Amino acid sequence: MPTTPRTLLGVLDEVIRRKHYSPRTGEAYRYWTRRYVRFHGGRHPREMDVKEVEAFVSHLASAHKVSASTQNQALASLLFLYREVLDLPLAMGGHHLQAKRPTRRPTVLSAEEVSRVLLAMRGTARLMAALLYGSGLRLRECCELRVKDVDFHRGELMVRAGKGKKDRVTMLPAFLADPLRRQLAEVRNQHDADVKAGAGYVELPEALERKLGARTAQLLAWQWVFPATRQYVARATGERRRHHLHETVLQREVSVATQVSGIAKRVSCHTFRHSFATHLLEAGYDIRTVQELMGHREVSTTMIYTHVLNKGGLGVRSPLDLGDTRVGRAQHREPRSNPPSDEPPAAPGVGHVSELRKVWLAEEPD
């Protein structure tokens, strides 16, 4: 018979695995459970109730000044602990302790600013950042792309087990087809060398290794598009594997490139995804289409990007821009809108994309 976990964290891990929660969620739940127990001097959670939970959450907000999202994550971890692990639901459900999250608009780069950041980057980091912007990928989705998920014929990328464990299909920019082919050629050469050296394995999702056989982990189709530079040895099997490139590598490169390009905005990897959605809406694409490409469950989530269509204060022009003699010295009124045209909307930043293409092609190996 299987040994029953004797520790609180052991039971927590078992429940998390049974519910198929993501590794990051499990890591966060374990972290907050440990902090909760330490805050109360090592007392077991069974001996405590909603008062102790409220004291811990209040301490986070007042003493550590954590954000509302961090406070809610800690509360969600403890609610899960009491409800699912200890089978002791808190009085009133504990939901009254949730913090109100402020409504913030995402940082969005212009097409010219996107080009400046990408031009300040090199190699694999530039290709990854370009995919974040050109395909609307999340950072982890980009890092976890596998060779089999790239479809050049259909111009598509298959995102596997994205946020919420959902698969989706997004576009593969034609602009990035050749750089991505070169990247996959390098992956193939590196993988062939690894296999000859008795390595070349990769971690497979869930139970696929048992279903498809251990050799499947050595197939090229399952290799990462952006593999790590170093190998590691799996403890359970002794296989020499490669993980995908760590997220912090690209985060660091984006931060440096933003400083080099002189952009005075707080730019992260996720900013490229925000810019992807915004620029598609600016170009006239339907919001439902953008919703599917982004993988949003509700269209209300995608609606946040429509703020860029308002052009300032909800589409209202300042009196200083109206040309009114009562406000400014201009003696004429500018037209409120462009004359109607049958031409389709132009994609934003076409000229900057052309400049980026020239630089990229100039750096290609002979």
Residues serving a catalytic function are 138, 163, 270, 273, 296, 305
Distant-in-sequence, close-in-space partners of 95: CB < 8 Å, separation ≥ 6: 79
Torsions phi, psi for 242 (to 5 deg):
-120, 130
Among residues 126, 100, 128, 124, which one has the least CA distance to residue 115?
A: 126
- Any alpha helices (H) in the chain, and if so which ranges? 8-18, 23-39, 50-62, 68-80, 111-119, 123-135, 139-143, 177-196, 208-212, 247-261, 269-282, 287-294, 299-302, 350-362
Distant-in-sequence, close-in-space partners of 121: CB < 8 Å, separation ≥ 6: 129, 253, 254, 257
Return the DSSP state at 103. P
Among residues 345, 274, 351, 283, which one has the least CA distance to residue 112?
A: 351
Among residues 191, 176, 183, 206, which one has the least CA distance to residue 22?
A: 206
CA distance 203 to 179: 25
Q: What residues are paired with 151 via a beta bridge?
A: 156
CA distance 228 to 191: 12
The label of the residue with tokens 């127990």 reads 37
Structure tokens at 31: 């972290």
SS3 call for 341: coil
Cα distances from 243 to residues 137, 158, 205, 247, 252, in angstroms, run: 19, 19, 13, 11, 18
In contact, 118 and 106? CB cutoff 8 Å:
no
On the CB side of 241, how many CA atoms lie within 13 Å of its CA?
21
